[in-house]
Amino acid sequence: MPPGSASLRVVRGADRLHAGSATPAGELVALSRDGDPIAFRLLVERYYPRMLRFAANMGLGKEDAEEAVQDALVRAHGALDRFDASAPFEPWLFRILANCCRTAHGRGRWWRRLRVEAPIERTPMRDTTGDAEWSEEIRRALDTLPREQREAFLLRHVEGMDYEAMMTVTGAGLSALKMRVKRACDALRAQLGALA
């Protein structure tokens, strides 16, 4: 296939698709369900950087974060037929990723690597377009949070999800998520305030 023809191939599935980045995720999912491999590739290109950032910020080393993202994408691709097209795609995808991150944490490999490996260079929590990377003090403070609080904080304040989407990702209720975010913010303020 000649370079640059990928977006043309997606258009064959739906005339209103002009460019992969402008195509709604739901339409790409529908095309992927119909067997269009380019549509799923566009979903991967759209979500991979954020997924990798989330996995790394959940405390996984670089290799484990990449593995968790790859595993989540494989699982999502295999489960596209079971995805409820009336629901938003992003929370569904991040729920799969969060489960893969939890599985990686459960294996315990990440703790052993933190003791043995050199410090991990993580993907910046915020897009680098105009934003500076978070300081090392903030990363260390974030690493001290319990997993559930860190996950809720990252979903809300780094990934910018609303609480409804967060409920889909985590399976937790609204009040539990609000409390996790509040406790995470309080803990971060206390730790970072001590540094000032």
The residue with greater pLDDT, 136 or 143, is 143
Contacts 24+ apart (CB under 8 A), 153-160: 153/180, 153/181, 153/184, 153/185, 153/188, 154/54, 154/57, 154/58, 154/125, 155/54, 155/94, 156/181, 157/181, 158/53, 158/54, 158/57, 158/125, 158/126, 159/50, 159/54, 159/94
Predicted local distance difference test score (pLDDT) of residue 128:
43
Predicted local distance difference test score (pLDDT) of residue 136:
76
The type of residue at 179 is: M
Predicted local distance difference test score (pLDDT) of residue 25:
93
Structure-token match 């959940």, residue found: 58
Could you say which DSSP state residue 71 is in?
A: H
Say if 2 falls within a structural domain: no
Task: For residues 40 and 84, state if they share a domain.
Answer: yes
Predicted local distance difference test score (pLDDT) of residue 108:
55
pLDDT range class, residue 126, cuts 50, 70, 90: very low
Listed in sequence order, the DSSP H helices in the chain are: 6-11, 25-33, 37-57, 62-79, 89-107, 109-116, 136-143, 147-153, 163-170, 174-195
What is the per-residue pLDDT across 71-90, written as a single tens digit (0 to 9) for each?
999 999 999 999 998 999 99
For 26-55, what is the mean pLDDT?
95
Rounded distance, CA 122 to CA 127, Å?
13
Predicted local distance difference test score (pLDDT) of residue 100:
95
Predicted local distance difference test score (pLDDT) of residue 21:
64
Domain C-terminal end among 96, 123, 150:
123
Domain C-terminal end among 104, 123, 142:
123
What is the per-residue pLDDT across 153-172, written as a single tens digit (0 to 9) for each?
999 999 999 999 999 999 99
CATH of the domain at 154: 1.10.10.10
Predicted local distance difference test score (pLDDT) of residue 196:
56
Task: For residues 74 and 60, state if they share a domain.
Answer: yes
pLDDT range class, residue 20, cuts 50, 70, 90: low
Task: For residues 38 and 109, state if they share a domain.
Answer: yes
Instruction: Give me Rg for the CA atoms of the chain.
Output: 18
Predicted local distance difference test score (pLDDT) of residue 59:
87
User: Residue 44 pLDDT more than 90?
Assistant: yes
Structure-token match 């790859």, residue found: 70
Q: Note down the domain range covering 29.
A: 20-123
Task: For residues 73 and 135, state if they share a domain.
Answer: no
Least confident of 55-64, 97-106, 109-118: 109-118
Task: For residues 70 and 108, state if they share a domain.
Answer: yes
